[in-house]
Amino acid sequence: MIVICNNAAFSTEAERLAEKLSLPLENDLDPRLIDYETYALVFDDVGLGLQALGQKVPGIIRADFVSGSVNHRRQFGGGKGQLIAKAVGLKSAFRPFVLDATAGLGKDAFVLATLGCRVQMHERNPVVHALLEHGLKSARQAALELGDTELITALALMTLMPIDSLSYLQQDLAKGAEDTPDVIYLDPMFPERQKAASVKKEMKAFHEVVGEDNDAEQLLTLALANVNYRVLVKRPRKAPTIDQRTPSYQMEGKAARYDIYTLKKMP
């Protein structure tokens, strides 16, 4: 992997990111003309994205909270009627504090924040963390420029930490940290069973760049030991449960399913 800076406005940020990740930095390169790497972190006129390299590759992947499908979901996604809102236990008088232990690009965390939940996001992969960190920074700047108070409020509820949730649950929370989450949300990466042609570009890239979460079983066990009310696991609709552990109940959507493990009733 390499870092490519095609916008001088991001040159300092590109240099810092390349140094942080120990990656080579190139300037003013067309990603379609590179055949010696598979992916690049590219700074362009929009900002930072993960780009597959070579001819006829999918478009760039970003953590975008201002435009596109994520923002459309904020405005027209159904509010508290969304499946994730019901699964997390959202109530009119109670907005749970959620630990998103596998944040990815922050899409689900953002939905929960727009519904009033405080969300602490953990992302241990440095490439994905860089995308999410840049996306949040850009969104906060855009929200201020647009005067979008709703977006400003939602983003203020999101905190990103570059840590491994497994270590966090083993060490920090296990030692008696006061801020125990009401809900822990897990969306681990598993081996992709779909044919390559049918896999979305984002999932394909994540499988190739991030790999699998081989410690999902241990993470679920630790989550159940360090949460106030419930652990919520997002899975493909027909996928098996983690470690064949039977949830308290399930909620199914068209493509995804939520396995819900409850410890006690929410307020």
pTM higher than the cut 0.85: yes
Look at the alpha carbons of 44, 46, 49, 51 in this order and tell me if their dihedral is positive or negative. Answer: negative
Question: What is the Cβ-side half-sphere exposure of residue 184, based on CA atoms within 13 angstroms?
Answer: 27
Kindly report, residue by residue over 78-106, the tens digit of the pLDDT: 677 889 999 999 988 899 999 999 999 99
Long-range contacts, stretch 250-258, CB < 8 angstroms, 24+ apart: 251/83, 251/86, 251/87, 253/83, 258/83, 258/84, 258/87, 258/232, 258/233, 258/234
- In CATH terms, the fold of domain 68-262 is Rossmann fold (3.40.50)
Sketch the domain layout of the chain as residue ranges: 2-52, 68-262
* Maximum average pLDDT range among 53-57, 178-182, 204-208, 220-224: 220-224
Which pLDDT value is given to residue 196? Answer: 43
Kindly report, residue by residue over 146-193, the tens digit of the pLDDT: 999 999 999 999 999 988 999 888 876 655 556 889 999 999 876 555
Which pLDDT value is given to residue 197? Answer: 42
Kindly give, in sequence order, each residue whose CB lies less than 8 Å from that of residue 28, ignoring residues fewer than 6 positions away: 5, 6
How far is the C-alpha of 187 from the C-alpha of 99, rounded, in Å? 12
Kindly report, residue by residue over 182-193, the tens digit of the pLDDT: 999 999 876 555
Kindly give, in sequence order, each residue whose CB lies less than 8 Å from that of residue 219, ignoring residues fewer than 6 positions away: 101, 102, 165, 166, 169, 186, 188, 213
